[in-house]
Structure 1
């Protein structure tokens, strides 16, 4: 493209930067970052979000933070979500949670479904049940209760915080708890809390499994030393 008299625009640059994320090509991504600066796209929100995401996937957190800090305007929920996701992806859960509070309480920005999913992952990995419940309240208040990603993140958060009962109550109240995402999340909650019999009971109750659920059920059979159940699952593969 550059060999022809065609100049890349913001959409072009954000697309090739996203490709660098998918391919884990950090050095090439840095080259495109230089092009972004030279061509004056360093204040474009879409391009900067792509850069933050690219650096985050390549574990170059300080580079991602620098792009974010140098934004002339930081009143866009997508940029905040990008940096929060970068922190979470790189196991910097406290930084992710702090950024969420600054975004929502200080900046007054309204989180979207992706923001909530990422923040709930941070709460889950920190074992912060109280903060997780606060985020849950915001999810309900802002009308994200029907979002499958958010609901599954809530199930996972309660499970990792050791509150299996809350996970099951939430699961039973879901408008669509027959989707594989939520269903597998509930199985995972039981399994990680060593409630292996409940894994098998839920499978019998629902009667269907996807590829990911098979792995969880097999772990439950292993935890119960239930060879016959394990063989049954094996025959279903």
Structure 2
């Protein structure tokens, strides 16, 4: 940067016209280029620079770690005011810069003037090639404006793979996976971005079965569209949610064979997948292999995994190690830390960490942290203290908070506070019969049979029906879903025969179920 400024000073003193090489030098700096200095240099030049230079600066703005839509629009406007005509690349770079900004990604409506920019493109007479169309569709889609994005897609005569991908990604990002799937199936050809957009869309929407199914279809078809690091980082959380560790292991082998495990997002996803699937040792192995590549997400996933598996001491040791290497915790870190204290029954330490959030790290506790504290105090039998904490919360307690308190009351046989928690849960979750079942069980455990009858009458009057439970089982690379009394599986007769055999064996071995708190289905 100092060298570039020295050249600039020399040109000003000697009147040398060296704006183009100087600006190109500024924009090619290996570290983050000084875009403000480059922009001021461009605008201060007495004679209008070329469209090429403006395009180079627009390109640099679009690649900036903190893209600013206002700066991109200002630069584009200055170019036009100085009499320079934008070309297709100018519009492409402008739209890309706006689409990559957080404002565009979170935008709603057309407050950012997307329609006005589209009109300016049409009015300018600039040829609308596939690059311009892709960038504009992407801008509309990332702004949440899927209807105009689709109109533009339909009006584009020559649609290459990038145009299709922009529209599919827009639908997937917006949660309209039916339309995303329709377009995907209609594509004349697909690449890895096409597949990854659909996989990540399903995974983000919680439709993990479909995410895995699309991934396996992609993997099975082979060809040039082979999973890359983005694909793996998208499908591994779906494997974690389904408990599909076998598939996760195959993905890890693929990542190692293709040099993708060095990607921090892939490694983080592997840590999370193994931790959620119950293999905390493998999660720790991947975490340790990362070394200096570990980011805050890596530490959070490992701390959370250790906490959930009851390894509270290791989780807290890892938290202190994280602080020692200079990584600042965030609110997710403290959820893991408080969970570790909860599973380890470390009440005093949990209180210390909870109150240190604001005092030492300037982090305001969120409802998740209050939920952890209620659970911690409740498990320790400190039900009155837990209820007092709930009443002091700066936000309205949700069903998770009251559910944690009700669960603790069930464990300790506390009727009075259970009735308070249940009264809030009945209002927050009138459809959830589980809360009535827990309250009824608390009454039954303390011999309050008349209260049990009242709860049952309330359930019958409202005709509540409990949602059918289901589970996922992974077998030979496929995910199988089972409902209660399910007959939809193609091999359900064999499954029920096996279950009957297991049940008979259990009875022969003397197993007697505990029916004291059993409720009728």
Tell whether the structures are fold-level matches, with TM greater than 0.5: yes
> Which of 125, 131, 142 is residue 5 of structure 1 equivalent to?
125
Structure 2 CA distance, aligned partners of 1:193 and 1:199?
10
> Which of 139, 157, 180 is residue 19 of structure 1 equivalent to?
139
> Which of 256, 271, 294 is residue 155 of structure 1 equivalent to?
271
> Cα deviation per residue 1:181-201 (whole Å; 9 max; x = unaligned)?
322221232244454433211
Summarize the Cα distance change of 1:221–1:182 in structure 2 as closer, same or farther, 3 Å threshold: closer
TM-score by length of 1: 0.87
Equivalent position of 1:85 in the other structure: 200
Aligned length: 232
Local SS of the residue matching 1:162: coil
Does residue 96 of structure 1 match 2:215? no
Look at both structures and tell me which one has the larger radius of gyration over its CA atoms.
2
- Alignment of structure 1 residues 218-229 onto 2, 5 Å: 219-220=338-339, 223=342, 224-225=346-347, 226-229=350-353
> Which of 206, 221, 230 is residue 106 of structure 1 equivalent to?
221
User: In the TM superposition, what is the alpha-carbon distance from 1:107 to its structure 2 partner?
Assistant: 2.8
User: In the TM superposition, what is the alpha-carbon distance from 1:49 to its structure 2 partner?
Assistant: 1.1
Structure 2 CA distance, aligned partners of 1:221 and 1:120?
24
> Cα deviation per residue 1:98-136 (whole Å; 9 max; x = unaligned)?
221221222333211000111111101111111111111
Structure 1 CA distance, aligned partners of 2:268 and 2:294?
12
> Cα deviation per residue 1:158-211 (whole Å; 9 max; x = unaligned)?
111122121112211224354323222212322444544332110122323332
Equivalent position of 2:23 in the other structure: none
Gaps spanning 5+ residues in structure 2: where? 1-120, 362-521
Does residue 236 of structure 1 match 2:357? no
Gaps spanning 5+ residues in structure 1: where? none
> Which of 120, 142, 145 is residue 261 of structure 2 equivalent to?
145
TM-score by length of 2: 0.42
- Alignment of structure 1 residues 1-237 onto 2, 5 Å: 1-25=121-145, 29-42=146-159, 44-74=160-190, 76-108=191-223, 109-207=225-323, 208-217=327-336, 219-220=338-339, 223=342, 224-225=346-347, 226-237=350-361
C-alpha contact (below 8 Å) 1:184/1:212 kept by paired residues: no
C-alpha contact (below 8 Å) 2:233/2:265 kept by paired residues: yes
C-alpha contact (below 8 Å) 2:137/2:152 kept by paired residues: no
Structure 1 stretches of 4+ with a deviation exceeding 4 A read: none
Structure 2 CA distance, aligned partners of 1:205 and 1:192?
19
- Structure 1 window deviating more from structure 2 (114-123 vs 165-174): it is 165-174
Equivalent position of 2:68 in the other structure: none
Structure 2 CA distance, aligned partners of 1:112 and 1:105?
15
Summarize the Cα distance change of 1:60–1:131 in structure 2 as closer, same or farther, 3 Å threshold: same
Structure 2 CA distance, aligned partners of 1:145 and 1:101?
19
Larger fraction in helix:
1
- Structure 1 window deviating more from structure 2 (192-201 vs 65-74): it is 192-201
Which structure would you say has the larger RCO, counting Cα contacts within 8 Å and 6 or more residues apart?
1
Summarize the Cα distance change of 1:236–1:18 in structure 2 as closer, same or farther, 3 Å threshold: farther
Structure 1 CA distance, aligned partners of 2:340 and 2:299?
18
RMSD (Å) for aligned C-alpha atoms: 2.2
Local SS of the residue matching 1:24: coil
